[in-house]
Amino acid sequence: MNAKIHFEPEKIEALIQLAIQEDIFTGDITTENLIPDNLMVEGVFLAKEDGVIAGLPVVEYFFSALDKNHFFKPWVKEGDVVCAGETIAAIQGSAKVLLSGERIALNFLQRLSGIATLTSRFVERVKPLKTSLMDTRKTIPGWRYLEKYAVAVGGGVNHRRGLYDQVLVKDNHLDIMKDKLFYEVPPHTSIIEKAVSVLRQKIKKGVLIEVETRTLEEVKNALHAGVDIILFDNMSIQQLSDGVRLVKEWKPGEGKRRPLTEASGNITLENVHLVAQTGVDRISVGAITHSAKALDISLEIT
């Protein structure tokens, strides 16, 4: 795993407790009535298909929440590629604990490994181009920290965590400003420039401002507004190329930097390399979280 990726267990404490409450609740009636308290066993997590592993610290933390008296040993590292049939990790402990926690542990490990695997496939498609492959806010409620963690394990880059840490002016913001709030926009000034001007007066210094654009005219307006990032939304390859060229040819004022460029919307494994070839700095892909298939993994009690 990349040394810069640091797992913070305190951020998933509530999610772990919710999973336990949801699945085990008052107790696993099957296991409690069939398995003696003192029986100790060993289990191994096996990959049933090729993929990238993410979530091992989550599994260890989860079993610790059930019972401190267990021994968990990963056989691979976070971010490692495994093949079908390969052992991922071993666990020793109470048979009752392993049986009761099996499904929850696999839900975490399979979901996160699936995200890491799909992310790595996108990342491979944009190599060797210097384009960052980024996630979005299209995550399962409550799972955002973990899903973005899995993206990072798979080689992707995390976009903003939420609505609180970066400005992103979207088309709906601009449409409401124009049609419902009737902002006074000076002559020869666009609604994008007005929005950015209002934001600059109200937000803390250092907060990045990104603006979503749908046309090349809006790209020009965003450049005049002095934004930090320009998002090209659902543009064709030709529009993206033209938009990137506009930005690269832009002469920012003294002390100002040229904005970063980002492409988003209908990005697939089939077209992501073409998008990267336009020269955009970043590509954000909602599919790496909302459409990732769980990696097939099993827990075999030995």
**29: Cβ–Cβ under 8 A, 6 or more apart, which residues?**
none
Give pLDDT tens digits for 91-131.
999 999 999 999 999 999 999 999 999 999 999 999 999 99
pLDDT score for 209: 98
Model confidence band, residue 5 (pLDDT cutoffs 50, 70, 90): confident
Beta pairing partners, 92: 42, 71
Domains along the chain?
Answer: 9-124+292-301 (3.90.1170.20), 128-290 (3.20.20.70)
Q: What does the DSSP 8-state code read for residue 182?
A: -
d(CA 109, CA 41): 20
Is the confidence at residue 2, as pLDDT, over 70? Answer: no
Stretch 205-229: mean pLDDT, rounded?
A: 96
d(CA 148, CA 289): 8
Q: What does the DSSP 8-state code read for residue 206?
A: T
Burial of 166 (0-12, 13-18, 19+ CB in 10 A): middle
Other Cβ atoms closer than 10 A to 153 = 28
Is the confidence at residue 264, as pLDDT, over 80? Answer: yes
Strands (E), the chain: 40-47, 51-52, 71-74, 81-82, 87-94, 132-134, 167-169, 209-213, 229-233, 260-264, 282-284, 297-301
Percent of the chain with pLDDT over 90: 91
Give pLDDT tens digits for 227-260.
999 999 999 999 999 999 999 999 887 668 899 9
Model confidence band, residue 3 (pLDDT cutoffs 50, 70, 90): low
Give pLDDT tens digits for 31-52.
999 999 999 999 999 999 999 9
Model confidence band, residue 1 (pLDDT cutoffs 50, 70, 90): low
